[in-house]
Each structure stands twice: as structure tokens, then as C-alpha cells.
Amino acid sequence: MSIVLEAHGIRKQFPGVLANDDVSFDLKKGEIHVLLGENGAGKSTLMNVLYGLYKPDGGEIRVNGQAISMSSPRDAIEHGIGMVHQHFMLIPVFTVAENIMLGMESVRGLALDEKVVAERVRELSRDLGMELDPNAYVHDLSVGVQQRVEIVKALYRKAEILILDEPTAVLTPQEVEDLFKIMHDLTNRGVSIVFITHKLKEVLEVADRITVMRGGKVVGSTTPSEISEAELANLMVGREVSLTVDKAAAQPKETVLEVSNLRVLDNLGTVAVDDVSLTVQAGEILGIAGVQGNGQTELVRALTGLARVSGGSIRLDGQEVANASPRRITELGSAHIPEDRQKDGLVLPFPVMDNLVLNTYYLPPFSQGLVVHWDRALENANQRIEQFDIRTPSAMTHVGTLSGGNQQKVIVARELSRPIKLLIASQPTRGLDVGSIEYIHGQIIKRRDEGVAVLLVSTELDEVLQLSDRIAVMYRGKILAVVPAAEATKESIGLLMAGITEKKPA
């Protein structure tokens, strides 16, 4: 098969990082070529170079055998390259049709001709076995549908080469299956696809060929028949990693957290958490599965005192804490690993040392009266850095300059280094590399075995399935079901995440 797209010796330097170091890559007509690598490996950078968004510092790009110079996405589009970005490039307040035509508008006289565009959008989406309403506003659509808009947007520009940058990160398992179907439809029609991911299972399912990147370099090229999941993981991370979580059966004891009929409004005043009741026992992990945006964020914010509770009760160790201050909840023995670590978990311009005592600095031994004993905080920091293997030049380094994995370790170190009864962990491993994930999962299991009640919120279904003892599925603000982990399968939870509850036979 002919090679449609070829990158040769691409180099891209960012301040302080060599994001692409002599990277070569090629794509054959009609194939799905997976580009695999951990966060920060340089995958998006390479694709942005191929799409004309970044100017490479060296190397050559060929389309259909011809060397081309790319200075803007316009050049890429002209050569039939389309890209669905990791963060969608749609304008929320525009309609589907407006988003799709933007930059390639049809006009009659001076006015936009929306009818022609709408017709073409309907046609293209029907070809792919889906229905897109050209007049719907993008902000009203689910992420899955938004992604289809992105795909149709590329096809509208007559893309023959489609780059999908981590398209599955935001989808439910069913949506992932649908996406794979669409991808195969497209390749059957001769479209060639670059598919970027760091999820190993998907790779083996869809790839025709696989290229693995690490630290800005290509470290291997293979096909699914030649390699196993474990070997892929080792190649991607560069060392032996364990993909499974080892844990003993849970020994649940007394109830630590009891939530009844909880109601929380989001900042627009709509009901985000709707009549939720749940309990978490000491020594067990309750996992909350669900697609992003189904009320998990608001639930956690209410439990940690960061959002107003507008109905129901939250009892922590027997005490009512609905609408209590975050400090009171913390002092009652609740630890919080927040969803957005940079916004809610750390003060980025502060040193590691300060961040490690953010919730204890006013207590002995760090404070006496009005005086803070920084020497003790420093001593504490050095111990934690050692104990939790935080990779930082020193305790005085600003936390904002650390990598995502190490920032998360700072939070974990702070939250787990005091006596706690409850751990609320929200997306604890989002965006982290396999090595850090392994470590943080280990820490969570360790606390459970010590008798801490753990509430785990994650949109990664695999994570919930691996760690939890019981699984609750959240959909549109409600808990649809709570099932023992032993009885849960990826498929059954996936259906619930999409809001489908099986009808019981009458």
C-alpha cells in the first residue's frame, strides 16, 4: 500500500524540553496507525507539526511522496489532512453547521448559505451511520457527539488523512465502540487514520500498526500480532510495570460516611446532585463511575465543604457536616485528593514545603501561638519527599515547576500523612504516567487496608473496576445502582454510565 503521509527526522524544541527528537513516522493508505506514548511523550507535538500548527526546528514532511512546506493549518487542510484535537476545537455558542463551515463558508451574495451546509452535514453524518442536527448548538451536545462534529468537520474539508488525538479519553465504553466502528468505516473508504492514545487495550483492538514514543523519541514500531499488552506497557514506560492491582478482599467495618438524600446545585443553579444516598465503611473502597459532568464534581465539592448543600445530610463519623467549613471537615479526619490538582490541590507558586503543610500549618508542631516554625515544616518536607519518592530538586522548589505525577505525589503525601478516617480521591491518576498510577493506586489500597474509608471518583472505568470493592454509577446527578465489584463487568457498568438501566423481567 502506498504511503500517504511521511514525517522524517522531525525535531521540535520548546523552552527547556526537546518535545520531538529526530522523529520519523509514516502512514499507509487506509490503515489505522496507533501512536502510543505516555503523557508528555511528544505525540501531540508531532501531530501539531504535521498539521501545520507548530513549525518544526528540523525535518521533512511528505504527502503522497511529495515534500511540502507547511506554515499554517490551511496548508495541511489543502493537502487533505484533518485533525481532531485532544481538546476539541469547537465554538460552544455556534451551531453544528456554523462550526463545520467556519473557514470554508458557502455564501450566496454576501450572506452565508446555511441551507447548503446543513444539507452536506446531514449527508456526511448519515454516511457514517449517525445523525447530526446541523442547527443544534454545540454547548448542548454531549462530548461524544461533539467529537462526531469534529470528525464531520474534517471530512467536510475533504480530509483523506485523519489525525485523532486521544479521542477516547472523554468517551464512555459504548461511545468508544461506536467510534471504532466509524473509524473502520472510514478506512474501508480509503481514509487513513493516525490514532493517538495511552490506553493499551484499545491499541491492540484497532491498530494495523503501532508506533511507540517515549521522551520525545520513537522507541519502537510493531503490529498487534507481534506484541502483548505487557510488552507494550514496558516499551511505553521504559521499565517493567505491573498492570494489575494486587489487593486482598476488603474487611469493611463501621460506617464512616453516610450521605442521605443529598441535593447540590451547580453554579448555574441547576440540580447537579439529585437525591443521592450512599455509605462508605471503614476498610472499603466505594468507587463512583460515570462520564465526566454527571454530578461527581459537585458531589465531591459538597462532601469536602467546597460547595453549598441545598438539601439532605452528610454524616462523617456520626457528625453532621453538610455545609460545614472545609477546615472542620478536614479536622474530623477527612482527606481530599481533588479533581483539579493545580486549582484546588496546590498553591503553585509556593514551595513544596509550604504545600505539604497547607492543612496543618496552624497546628502544633508547626505552629505555636502566632509563630510558625518553618524549620519543622522543612524537616517534615524532607521526610515526605523521601517517603513518597517525590522527584523535586529541593523542598524549596516551587510546586508549579514539578511534573504532573510529582505534583500529585505532593498532594497524596500531605493528605495521607496525618491520622484520617475518610479519603475522598477524585480522578487521582488523571493525566499521570503508568509509573505514578501504579504508585498512587498502591497508596490508596494501603490506606484501605489500614481501615480508612475510601471514596474513589473516576471517569476511568478500568481504574474504578480495579480498585473498588463496591461500585456506584452516577448518571445525571443520580446514583443509578450500587453493585459489588465482584459482580461488575466493564459492559454492565458501561451501560449504566450511558444511563441504560436493564429492565427487570416482570
Partner 1 sequence: MNKRRFYFIAAIIILLYLIVILIGSAQISPLVLLVSLLATTISVATPLTLGALSGVFCERAGVVNIGIEGMMLTSAFFGWFGAVFLNTIWSVPPLASLLFGVLVAIIIGGLLGLLHAWLSVSLKVDQVIGGTVINILAIGITGFLNRQLFFEKNSIFGGQIPHAPGVLPRISIPFLVDIPVVGKVFEQQPIAVAAIVLVIVANFVLFRTRWGLRTRAVGEHPRAADTIGINVYKMRYWNVIIGGMLAGLAGAYFTIESVPSFEPLMTNGRGFISLAAMIFGNWTPFGAWAAALVFGAAQAFQINLQQFRAVIPPEWAFLQYSYVVGMVPYILTMVILTGVIGKTVAPAADGTPYEK
Ligand X SMILES: Nc1ncnc2c1ncn2[C@@H]1O[C@H](COP(=O)(O)OP(=O)(O)O)[C@@H](O)[C@H]1O
- Residue 77 touches which member of partner 1, ligand X, Mg ion, none, C-beta under 5-8 Å by kind: partner 1
- Residue 112 or 233: which CB sits closer to ligand X? 233
Least separation in angstroms between residue 159's CB and partner 1 is 12
Applying CB under 8 A, the site for partner 1 has a residue count of 26
- Residue 138 or 250: which CB sits closer to partner 1? 138
How many Å apart are CA 326 and CA 324, to the nearest integer?
A: 7
CA 179, distance to chain mean position in Å, is 17
Stretch of 8-16, 82-90, 246-254, 480-488 contacting Mg ion, by CB under 5 A = 82-90
- Residue 166 or 298: which CB sits closer to ligand X? 166
Q: Which of 40, 295, 305, 477 binds ligand X (CB under 6 A)?
A: 40
Cell numbers that stand for 134 in this block: 446541523
The conformational region for residue 139 under phi > 0 = left, psi -120 to 50 = alpha, else beta, is alpha
**401 makes contact with ligand X (CB under 6 A):** no
Stretch of 104-112, 234-242, 335-343, 403-411 contacting partner 1, by CB under 8 A = 104-112
How many Å apart are CA 404 and CA 16, to the nearest integer?
A: 16
Q: Which amino acid is at 286?
A: L
- Residue 14 touches which member of ligand X, Mg ion, partner 1, none, C-beta under 5-8 Å by kind: ligand X
Stretch of 33-41, 105-113, 386-394, 474-482 contacting partner 1, by CB under 8 A = 105-113
Are the beta carbons of 83 and 76 closer than 8 angstroms? yes
**17 makes contact with ligand X (CB under 6 A):** yes
229-237 and 434-449 helices, crossing angle to 10°: 110
Element counts in the chain: helices (H) and strands (E): 16, 24
**37 makes contact with ligand X (CB under 6 A):** yes
Cell 455545609 identifies what position?
323
Q: Which of 4, 5, 40, 44 binds Mg ion (CB under 5 A)?
A: 44
DSSP 8-class letter at 401: G
**Residue 112, strand partner residues:** 107
Least separation in angstroms between residue 44's CB and ligand X is 3
How many Å apart are CA 165 and CA 47, to the nearest integer?
A: 8
Q: Which of 14, 17, 58, 89 binds partner 1 (CB under 8 A)?
A: 89
- Going by C-alpha positions, the residue among 271, 398, 260, 383 that lies closest to residue 321 is 260
Q: How far, in Å, are 8, 390, 397 from residue 227 at the CA level?
A: 25, 33, 41
Q: Where does this chain bind partner 1 (CB under 8 A)? A: 51, 53, 72-74, 77, 83, 85, 89-94, 98, 101-105, 107, 110-112, 153, 157
Residues in contact with ligand X by the rule CB under 6 A: 14, 17, 19, 37, 39-45
